[in-house]
Amino acid sequence: MWDDNEIRYSLRSVEKNLENAGNVFIVGEFPAWMNEETLAHIPADDIYDHKIKNAVHKILIACADKRISDNFILMNDDFLFLTPQTVSQNLNIGYIDDAQRDHKTRRGYYFRAIRETNQMLKMAGIAKPVNYEVHYPMIINKKAFRAIIEGVGWKNIGYIFRSVYGNVIGIVGKETKDYKAFSIKEVFEMKDRAFMSTDNYVVTNPKFQNWIREKFNKKSKYEHGKS
């Protein structure tokens, strides 16, 4: 949305503030400014006309890569670590019942994914499925993720995969408020928190761009060129 700058600043925040960052793998596109000496690239295309299915497709490719550790941190390209921290546990934002009830339009691919996931998990014997769709990194076990996701027919229905994984594996996660900023107002309300995720349109706002350039004003080791 912003010439791949979301992931540029996400990587700067990883280098500066994610204290338990290991090797970083980029799954999908690999912009020319990325440093192939400090980043590992796993090519993967969007082969589905469905955002969630494409995400699952890419994660499964990553899970099959022997270079990636058995447990790894799954991140989106717009995640920002704003203060020094570690990712040590998985988080949730309540229950899927609440997300289904409170969805603004009650239509579209994402609402269907919420509804179908909720129904599938309840049929599997989970009476009150937890909502793990928080915009925050998730700790994934490769073997467990592949077994769980491939066992639910994900190609037919684009389930909200974080919640499928979290509920089936039985994660005991901490409940939190979500970290997604959908407006420039929310960006500046959240800028003093430890973490933030940005909406695609927020990053096109000049006020956001000025703020993030000042916040992370030095190139990271993941970029070509000197700081």
Q: Domain coordinates of the chain in residue numbers?
A: 5-215
Contact 72, 95 (CB under 8 A): no
| CA diameter of the chain | 55
Please give the pLDDT value at position 133.
Answer: 97
The whole-angstrom separation of Cα 81 and Cα 135 is 12
The neighbouring-strand residues paired with 138 are 74
Distance of CA 104 to the CA centre of its chain: 22
The H or E element spanning position 143 is helix 142-150
Helix axes 51-63, 161-169, angle to 10 degrees: 50
Contact 194, 82 (CB under 8 A): yes
Please give the pLDDT value at position 153.
Answer: 87
Q: Report CA torsion sign: 143, 39, 1, 214.
A: positive
Please give the pLDDT value at position 227.
Answer: 45
Q: Which two tokens stand for residue 61?
A: 């490719």
Please give the pLDDT value at position 156.
Answer: 86
The neighbouring-strand residues paired with 92 are 175
Please give the pLDDT value at position 220.
Answer: 97
Q: Which residues of the chain have pLDDT under 70?
A: 1, 225-227
First CA to last CA distance, the chain: 24
Radius of gyration, alpha carbons of the chain: 18
Q: Which two tokens stand for residue 162?
A: 């974080």
**Closest-CA residue to 14 (of 77, 80, 98):** 80
Helix (H, G, I), strand (E, B) or coil at 177: coil
